[in-house]
């Protein structure tokens, strides 16, 4: 007989001969007692279950401590990282096919012979090197596009304005002039190579090596193109546009200031040409302007002093900050021409307004193990373009008599 049944019989016997009110009280007391017994029973079962789980957890930890550690952390980027490394080392592209990376297919609708996008870490490494190199990119307007070209709309006219009286007739004002500049994107490529034996060595940091070689090639090629490129299968450099005396400047050409001496600075007042160059640029552009020159030219300029014997050049006081000339930052770009007859060896301008670099954000890698055996070639490509976007924002110093 159960405990509940025993209690029920006891209550039934006890209730015999009681008044109705007393019978209700007795029944209620018995019901409350049953509920309390049920709660105590549940609490006991829960306590036993908790003790059992605690023992299992301790046993699990003891067993886990005896096993070797397979990984120190969880690599959330493992799928694409491992797949890309397998492709680079051995050509195994099974892991790359159909793999989704940052919302887009890693192979972006191209076959394996068209190459694969590099993984995010490698791409970020390449991008950071390009951004930090001494190139016009460092001061230019850099935009990322998904198309094959980038259009810049320039309003180089004045809408016009006038004063109006309460009763006088209001004449028409001038209309603005809109210029469209199209910057096509060109294919920039690099072709580093490594031996298969080196690739088979697991200790060799293949991604770091590949990113460094690609970034170095890309940086040198585009730095020259942004200054001297002819626009044929490469960006158009700002020095390849026509140049005219700044007093006769018109849109479509870059204005220059002459030093007054062919192939050099004026021997009496050499600094005057630099001051004239700075103030040839309109005030709206000067606030964000920079000087651009190569190291040899900088070596000549930094010796100049003003009439009071103070150097025009001031070195940076903080790490990472550029040197300054006449208070404006100086970008050392080795692809600028050296001082010589009729050379435009120094540029001054607001390049964020005056020059635009357009690029696609992805870099593609094609592995070629056949063309240079026993080495493996890595054909890396990136699409980038550049051109002058505002001809009023850049001025040149020409080393000529006039």
How do residues 121-171 score in pLDDT, each as one tens digit?
667 767 776 766 678 999 999 999 988 999 998 876 655 556 666 666 666
Band (pLDDT 50/70/90 cuts) for residue 108 is very low
Band (pLDDT 50/70/90 cuts) for residue 47 is confident
- Domains of the chain: residue spans and CATH: 78-157+182-233+360-387 (3.30.2400), 238-358+389-398 (3.30.2320)
CB atoms within 10 A of CB 151: 11
Instruction: Tell me the mean pLDDT in the region 274-303.
Output: 96
pLDDT score for 115: 61
Instruction: Tell me the mean pLDDT in the region 245-252.
Output: 95
Long-range contacts of 127-133 (CB under 8 A, 24+ apart): 129/211, 129/212, 129/215, 129/216, 129/219, 130/215, 130/218, 130/219, 130/222, 133/219, 133/223
Alpha helices in 351-392 (DSSP H): 351-354
Q: What three-state secondary structure class fits 138?
A: helix
Band (pLDDT 50/70/90 cuts) for residue 318 is confident
Instruction: Tell me the mean pLDDT in the region 196-220.
Output: 83
Q: What three-state secondary structure class fits 329?
A: strand
**Torsion of Cα atoms, 91 then 95 then 96 then 98, to 10°:** 140
Q: If you search the block for the tokens 């015999």, which residue do you land on?
A: 16
Residue with the larger pLDDT of the pair 139 and 14? 139
Band (pLDDT 50/70/90 cuts) for residue 90 is confident
CA 348 – CA 281 distance, rounded (Å): 8
CA 365 – CA 388 distance, rounded (Å): 30
Least confident piece of the model among 18-32, 342-356, 379-393: 18-32
Greatest extent of the chain over all pairs of C-alpha atoms, in Å: 135
pLDDT tens-digit readout, 255-288: 999 999 999 999 999 999 999 999 999 999 999 9
Residue with the larger pLDDT of the pair 283 and 102? 283
pLDDT score for 109: 34
CA 293 – CA 272 distance, rounded (Å): 17
Q: pTM for the full model? A: 0.70
What are the angstrom distances between the C-alpha of 46 and each of 43, 49, 121, 286? 5, 5, 50, 77
Instruction: Tell me the mean pLDDT in the region 93-104.
Output: 53
Least confident piece of the model among 25-39, 114-128, 213-227: 114-128
């Amino acid at each position: 007989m159960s405990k509940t049944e025993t209690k029920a019989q006891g209550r039934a016997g006890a209730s015999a001969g009681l008044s109705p009110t007393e019978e209700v009280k007795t029944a209620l007391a018995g019901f409350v007692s049953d509920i309390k017994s049920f709660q105590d029973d549940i609490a006991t079962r829960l306590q036993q279950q908790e003790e059992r789980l605690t023992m299992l957890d301790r046993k699990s930890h003891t067993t886990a401590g005896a096993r070797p550690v397979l990984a120190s952390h969880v690599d959330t980027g493992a799928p694409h990282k491992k797949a890309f490394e397998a492709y680079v080392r051995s050509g195994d592209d099974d892991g790359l096919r159909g793999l989704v990376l940052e919302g887009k297919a890693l192979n972006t609708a191209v076959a394996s012979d068209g190459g694969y996008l590099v993984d995010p870490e490698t791409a970020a490494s390449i991008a950071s090197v390009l951004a930090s190199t001494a190139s016009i990119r460092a001061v230019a307007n850099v935009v990322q596009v998904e198309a094959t070209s980038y259009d810049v709309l320039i309003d180089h006219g004045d809408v016009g304005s006038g004063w109006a009286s309460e009763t006088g007739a209001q004449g028409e004002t001038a209309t603005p002039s809109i210029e469209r500049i199209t910057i096509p994107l060109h294919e920039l490529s690099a072709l580093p190579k490594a031996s298969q034996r080196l690739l088979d060595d697991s200790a060799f940091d293949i991604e770091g090596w590949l990113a460094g070689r690609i970034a170095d090639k890309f940086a040198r090629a585009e730095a020259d193109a942004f200054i001297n490129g002819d626009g044929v299968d490469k960006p158009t450099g700002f020095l390849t546009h026509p140049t005219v005396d700044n007093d006769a400047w018109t849109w479509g050409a870059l204005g220059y200031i002459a030093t007054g001496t062919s192939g050099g600075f004026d021997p009496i007042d050499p600094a005057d040409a630099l001051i004239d160059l700075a103030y040839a640029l309109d005030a709206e552009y000067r606030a964000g302007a920079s000087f651009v020159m190569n190291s040899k030219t900088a070596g000549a300029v930094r010796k100049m002093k003003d009439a009071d014997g103070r150097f025009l050049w001031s070195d940076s006081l903080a790490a990472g900050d550029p040197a300054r000339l006449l208070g404006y930052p100086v970008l050392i770009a080795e692809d600028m021409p050296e001082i010589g007859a009729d050379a435009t060896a120094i540029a001054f301008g607001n390049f964020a307004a005056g020059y635009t670099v357009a690029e696609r954000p992805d870099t593609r890698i094609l592995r070629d193990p056949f063309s240079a055996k026993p080495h493996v070639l890595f054909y890396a490509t990136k699409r980038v373009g550049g051109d002058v976007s505002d001809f009023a924002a850049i001025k040149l110093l020409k080393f000529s008599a006039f």
